[in-house]
Structure formats: C-alpha cells, structure tokens
Amino acid sequence: MSNPRLLSSAIAARLSRGRNPDTAASLQDRFNQLYGRVLANEVAIPLAEAWSGVPASELAPSVADKLPLSLARLIYLTVMKRISGRAIAIGYGKEKPESINVWHVYPERGTGQLCQRLAAPIRHAIRLESPVEAIFVENGRVAAIQVNGRTEEVSAVISTAPCNVLPGLLKGTNRLNFLWRFRFRPMVFVMLQLTGRNLLKDAVVWTPEARFPFFRATETPISMPWLAPEGKTLVTLDLGCEVGDKIWKSTPENLASLCLDKLERIIPDVRNRYLGVRVLRTPHAYPVFLRDYEEQRLDFQRSSGIKSLYSMGRNGEFDHLLTEDVYWRTLARLNQVLPSLKKESDSEPEKRAAHHG
C-alpha cells in the first residue's frame, strides 16, 4: 500500500473488475484481473511460480481462491493482530470465518502432544509398523486391505497419504489412475537459529524478487514467543526445488551460507546473529493445481468415486490447507461418514463381525 505503482495497479484492477466478467483461463490471467499487471507481474506471479515450480500460465485460476481478497478485512485483522499480540488467522484458512477470535496456536510440546491426546482413547486399536500394501475394490467399493502380507476385510478406508499414491495401492479398479498426474512441489525448509527477536518486519515476509533463493521468510516467535528461548529466534526460509536437484542435495552448511548471504538484505547483521541451522526436506510440500487436470481435481474433491474410500488431509485431499483447516474439515467429514458406516454395519452383522474380529 505504500508503493504508489503497486497501489495504483491494484486500485485500477479492482475498478475494472466490477465492469468485466471473470474470464481467467489461468492463474496468470486471474492475478492480472485481481491486481493489475504491475502488481501481478512484480509480486503475485513470481511468488506463485517460486512455490509451484511452473509458469503461472500453466496453473489453474483456482489457486487464487486461497488468497484473502477483502482489503478492508485484511487491514482490520492485521491491526488487531498487533494490538492483541495474538497470531490471528488472516487469509488462507477457510473452514472457520475470519475474526479476531480465530488465531493460530501451537502446543508447548509440539504437534506430537495433539497426536498423543487423540490417540489415547483408541491406543489398543493402533498398529504401528503396519504399512498398507494393497486396497482391494469389489463392485466399485472397498472390500479389504493387505497389511504386512495379511488380508483383512474392512468397512471403509481413510487415507491420508499423498493422493497420487493411491493408484499404486488399488487392486480391482483403475478408477483413480488419473491421480498419477497430480503433482506436488518439493521444498527445502532452512531453519536458521539466531540471537535476538523481531528481526523481520512481520511474522511472514514474502520475497518475490529474483535475487532471493527463497520466496518466504517466517519468524514464528514474533507471534508465538514460546517457540524459541528468550533472546533467541528462528527464521525459516522456504526454497522450492525438485527432488535430486542442487538445492535438494545441498548440505545444511551450504544452504545456511546461501541463505545468510541473501538474508543480509533484510537483516543486515544476520551473520553475527547466526547460531546454527536445521534443514527439513519434503517431496510433498504443496499441491500444484495445473490447468491440465483441474476438472479431475474438482471431481476428486467431491468424491473418490469408490464407495467407502476417503482421502483426507492436505496431501490426501490435494488441497492447500493449514493445519487448522485440516482439523476442522476432517472432523466435519468424519461426522458425516461415521453415522453412515454405523448404519450400514448394523444392517450387515456378518461383515461387522469380520471387520472387528
């Protein structure tokens, strides 16, 4: 808003959008309609291409649906975030309406604390080291699974694996073979341990400029101070890559050196503050919404097409979801699924006995 070129571009786009219908065929078109050519080409499009790894012209316009579009709401929540000192959720989260009473939280002992609490009542039914080797489908519905070479009848399968893994597990159908095409963007997250606090202007700083190897810098202790010891902080840098490329194979020390060199433009004395580094590599960081399979993605979002097979979670649903949205959406879906399964189980006692046995 403080840059006249970007602000005038956005205002002009907003005014013209009210007169022109949305005819965007790609994310590139959608960003030009939303923000004008200057803001789109200098900020929005470079960021989208950095995290997706493909040109914006090849991305579906629905990628922009995840971004906050109400400027007044954005300003209000940002101001309240600074006044309250809370990590108020702004944009991205869609399952709960945005308000000053919806904010990000993080357990003191990490997300493992949540898993332990949720698992406690059903610990007797949880089997570790039990990879599912196959999912058997008969007459268009899930019938059984193979685990560690053993076949077990099931009433339903809920998968949280990346959805493009499912075709390799299914036996008896090729209904989901199109999922092979769905792409995930690999990422390397470089976590720099630094002395000091509030080194960035905000908890999240976007870096669309080509001179930065990372497209986002995040200092979570700004919003959640307990995530780092007093007088210290953690800055996480997101580097898009491909599995096996130079970034993916770089050592933590080389990645730290690369990031520190570039981060000096944002934190001038960052090298004097440097304490250490941790690196996280993930091959399934973000779903990539390509135009080529957008219709199939939307169909899969509505249903797997196989009765009693449910794909849930960010990677399972192939969607851009924060942890909070994953929780609320999964809870809502299970509240729909479980009653129908119970009703069906009550009408088929033999199968129920086989399943629970």
208 token code pair = 């669309």
DSSP 318: T
Residues near 40 by Cβ (< 8 Å), separated by ≥ 6?
9, 28, 31, 32, 34
Low-confidence ranges of the chain (pLDDT < 50): 350-357
Centroid of chain to Cα 10:
26
> What does the pLDDT read at residue 283?
95
> What does the pLDDT read at residue 347?
63
d(CA 182, CA 279): 26
Residue 274's beta-bridge partner residues? Answer: 194
d(CA 154, CA 152): 6
53: phi > 0 → left, psi -120 to 50 → alpha, else beta; which? left
Q: Are 8 and 170 in contact (CB under 8 A)?
A: no
Residue 147's beta-bridge partner residues? Answer: 132, 150
> What does the pLDDT read at residue 239?
97
Give the start-to-end residue ranges of the domains of the chain.
4-52, 129-176+305-356, 183-288
Between CA 299 and CA 308, with CA 302 as vertex, the angle to 5 degrees is 110
pLDDT in tens, 148-172: 999 999 989 999 999 999 999 999 9
- Residue found under tokens 């009542």: 121
Residue 78 sits at φ, ψ, to 5 deg, of -65, -45
CATH of 183-288, picked from 3.90.550.10, 3.90.660.20, 3.30.70.270, 3.40.1310.30, is 3.90.660.20
Per CATH, which fold does 129-176+305-356 belong to? FAD/NAD(P)-binding domain (3.50.50)
What amino acid is encoded at 338 in this protein? L
Question: pTM of the prediction?
Answer: 0.84
> What does the pLDDT read at residue 97?
77
pLDDT in tens, 334-348: 888 888 777 776 666
**DSSP-assigned states of every residue in 261-276:** HHHTTTSTTHHHHEEE
